[in-house]
A and B are shown apart, each in its own frame.
Chain A
Amino acid sequence: MAYTTRQQLIDRILRFYYDGVPDDQAEITPNEVDLYINDAIATVINKQAMDEYNITGIMSVPEGYITTYTIPTPSLSDQTGFYSSTLPHPPLGLPGECGVVGVYFGGGWGQSKPVLHVKPQEVDYFAFMPMPPQAAYYWVENSQIYFWCNTDLTHISDSIYIRMASNVQSNNSAVLNVPPDAVELIFQDVISKLLPRKNIKSDNIIDGKENA
């Protein structure tokens, strides 16, 4: 069984755009197409999540988009007492903060109970409320993830796992991180953005003017 890898999708898009294998003078590069694919996946995730919400009434992310990452050991802020680390990318802007699906610790002893989510707007008063002794909390600001817990996270040997909807991929030879039914939507989305470029009159003349 052959599934579409990200590189194959890039190649399919380039072949479609150039009506064959691109030649050495092709202006659109795989790196550029890769960025378009990132955007298209984010758009399609949002669309499919909303479609599912309209049918089931439950806001969730299709499993095909979910990836589990480990993040660097958090550092402690002396001023706030919060721990923070970096996510692989900012969470997608899905309703109901569905961008990050789950956070937990893991080690030789197994998997922890889930770290509890707090909305960023609740953080300022949350920190002054009574806390269960063993609970840990997190919230996200752009690509930073913050933790509050009684354990010193800077010295833990456990890994912190983040399960989140992802539109990026570090390895283009790996299978595309989307459900198979979304590949066509992503392809169409990218092509619809690229094709108008064929009709743009470019000015390649060196004549001191932007437009000839």
Chain B
Amino acid sequence: MTVDTVYRIMRFIARKNQLASLSPQDFQDSFNSAQRNYYDFLVGRLEQYRYDSPKPRVGIAMTDNVMSRLTPFQQSATVSVTSGVATKPVDFNKLLSMLTPSNTRVSRYEENRIAERLADSIDPVDEENAFFVEKNGEWAVYPDDLASVTVSYLTLPTDVVWAYTLDGNGRPVYTPTGSVNPLWYDNDIDELIGRACKILGISIKENALVSYGQGVLQNGE
């Protein structure tokens, strides 16, 4: 679905609620915020963790339904490891898997387990039992003589842009040049529009839009 179609639907909802016109900038801000919000929801919300069970109601890889919706943001890359350090791809957001060149898994460990893991007598620190620690902008990979790792990861949704030119009356007219379409599948767009309407409704203090968005969030329609 193009960004123009999404904008048109949101203007339609706004008109339905007898609101003033929806500016391109307001549309972009609300929709982009909704995108990140929905992405975060699909990956899994921290606030839904229980003290004894770190599981959200909806989370990444929970079902194929969740994973399929995130596939537009799935990327993979072979990252070189230099002295045990692999630099994260620039568009990296959430790691799905890390494999060695031999396709064995690279397990994740937190900093506070590294000393014990390095001294472990059951799983030696070798390619077959490789592991990593996540750091800011990079991963520390063990064993440090691994040449590379293959990572599969998610990127954040790209911000949409509704590019326009001004007509003779100074009104914006859509142009595909410079526009950025949402990457989501069409069946997710309505969910995103609902969230965007809620954000917009709060912004302009319009309860009708807020309740519409709340309805989408709660009932999915």
User: Could you tell me which A residues sit within 8 Å of B by CB distance?
Assistant: 23-25, 29, 31-32, 35, 201, 204, 206
Q: CB-CB < 8 A to B111: which residues of A? A: 206
Q: Are A31 and B122 in contact (CB under 8 A)?
A: yes
A24 partner, pick from B98, B112, B123, B129, beta carbons under 8 A:
B98
A31 partner, pick from B61, B105, B110, B129, beta carbons under 8 A:
B129
Q: Are A29 and B122 in contact (CB under 8 A)?
A: yes
Q: CB-CB < 8 A to B105: which residues of A? A: 24
Q: Are B122 and A24 in contact (CB under 8 A)?
A: no
Q: CB-CB < 8 A to A32: which residues of B? A: 122-123
Interface centre among B97, B98, B112, B122 (most CB of A within 10 A): B122
Q: Are B122 and A35 in contact (CB under 8 A)?
A: yes
Q: Are B112 and A206 in contact (CB under 8 A)?
A: yes
Distance, CA A31 to CA B111, complexed state (A):
22
User: Could you tell me which B residues sit within 8 Å of A by CB distance?
Assistant: 52, 61, 97-98, 105-108, 110-112, 122-123, 129
Distance, CA A29 to CA B126, complexed state (A):
14
Distance, CA A24 to CA B151, complexed state (A):
12
Distance, CA A198 to CA B137, complexed state (A):
34
Distance, CA A74 to CA B97, complexed state (A):
49
Distance, CA A23 to CA B106, complexed state (A):
11
Q: Are B108 and A24 in contact (CB under 8 A)?
A: yes
Q: CB-CB < 8 A to B123: which residues of A? A: 29, 31-32
Distance, CA A23 to CA B52, complexed state (A):
21
* Minimal beta-carbon separation of A121 from chain B (angstroms): 33
Q: Are A24 and B107 in contact (CB under 8 A)?
A: yes
Q: CB-CB < 8 A to A35: which residues of B? A: 122
Q: Are A29 and B112 in contact (CB under 8 A)?
A: no
Name B52's closest neighbour in chain A (CB-CB).
Answer: A201
Distance, CA A204 to CA B111, complexed state (A):
11
Q: Are B107 and A206 in contact (CB under 8 A)?
A: no
Distance, CA A35 to CA B61, complexed state (A):
31
Distance, CA A35 to CA B129, complexed state (A):
16
Report, nearest first, the 4 A-B pairs whose CB atoms are least far apart. A24-B105, A206-B112, A31-B122, A31-B123
Name B96's closest neighbour in chain A (CB-CB).
Answer: A24
Q: Are A29 and B129 in contact (CB under 8 A)?
A: yes
A206 partner, pick from B106, B110, B122, beta carbons under 8 A:
B110
Interface centre among B98, B105, B110 (most CB of A within 10 A): B105
* Minimal beta-carbon separation of B155 from chain A (angstroms): 19
Q: CB-CB < 8 A to A29: which residues of B? A: 122-123, 129
* Minimal beta-carbon separation of A132 from chain B (angstroms): 46
Distance, CA A59 to CA B47, complexed state (A):
63
Given known pairs A31-B129, A201-B52, the reply for A25 and B122 (CB within 8 Å) is no
Given known pairs A31-B123, A35-B122, the reply for A24 and B97 (CB within 8 Å) is yes
* Minimal beta-carbon separation of B61 from chain A (angstroms): 8
Distance, CA A167 to CA B138, complexed state (A):
43
